[in-house]
C-alpha cells in the first residue's frame, strides 16, 4: 500500500487526477486552486465522515439511508493516504455524483457510520487493471 502511495505521489503526470497533500494547508491550497476562479471559496462545501465507534470487528453493513450530496458537480475527495506519516490523497472527480450514505453494522448494533461516496458516471476509459475493477471481477467469479 505504501509503495502505491509513493508511486502516485512521485509521478504526478501519470496520475494527474491524484494529488498528495503532506498537510491540511496543502490540501486547502490544492482544492482552492482546482476550483478557482470558477467557484468562489464561500461556495465550496466541506463534507466529512462520522463514525460513532471504532470500525474494528465489523466489515458488513446495512445501508439505512442514501442522500445526494452533489450531483454533476466537480468533487474533490481527500482521505488519509496509506503512509506512516500524515499525508492526504486527493482525487478530483469530474462528472461524478457525491452521496451521503448512512450505514449500520450488522455485527454491532451500536456502530453507525455516516459515509461519503462518489459514483463515477463514465469509467469507459479506465484501465481494466484498476483495483476496484479487479476486486469486483474476482467477487463475480466466486
Give which of 98, 107, 103, 60 is closest to 77, Cα–Cα.
98
pLDDT in tens, 101-120: 998 888 877 788 888 888 87
Domain ranges of the chain: 2-122
pLDDT at 28 over 60: yes
Q: Which residues of 6-41 are buried (b: 16+ CB within 10 A; e: fewer)?
A: eebbeeeeeeeebbbbeeeeebeebbeeebeeeeee
What pLDDT band is residue 92 in, cutting at 50, 70 and 90? Answer: confident
Q: Do you find a cis peptide bond into 50, omega within 30 degrees of 0?
A: no
Amino acid at each position: 500500500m505504501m509503495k502505491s502511495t509513493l508511486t502516485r505521489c512521485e509521478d504526478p503526470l501519470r496520475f494527474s487526477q491524484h494529488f498528495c497533500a503532506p498537510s491540511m494547508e496543502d490540501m486547502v491550497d490544492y482544492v482552492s486552486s482546482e476550483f478557482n476562479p470558477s467557484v468562489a471559496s464561500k461556495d465550496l462545501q466541506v463534507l466529512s465522515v462520522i463514525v460513532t465507534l471504532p470500525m474494528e470487528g465489523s466489515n458488513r453493513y446495512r445501508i439505512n439511508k442514501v442522500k445526494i450530496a452533489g450531483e454533476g458537480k466537480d468533487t474533490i475527495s481527500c482521505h488519509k493516504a496509506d503512509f506512516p506519516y500524515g499525508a492526504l490523497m486527493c482525487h478530483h472527480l469530474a462528472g461524478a455524483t457525491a452521496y451521503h450514505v448512512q450505514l449500520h453494522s450488522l455485527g454491532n448494533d451500536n456502530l453507525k457510520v455516516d459515509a461519503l461516496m462518489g459514483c463515477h458516471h463514465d469509467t469507459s476509459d479506465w484501465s481494466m487493471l484498476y483495483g476496484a475493477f479487479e476486486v469486483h471481477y474476482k467477487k463475480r467469479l466466486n
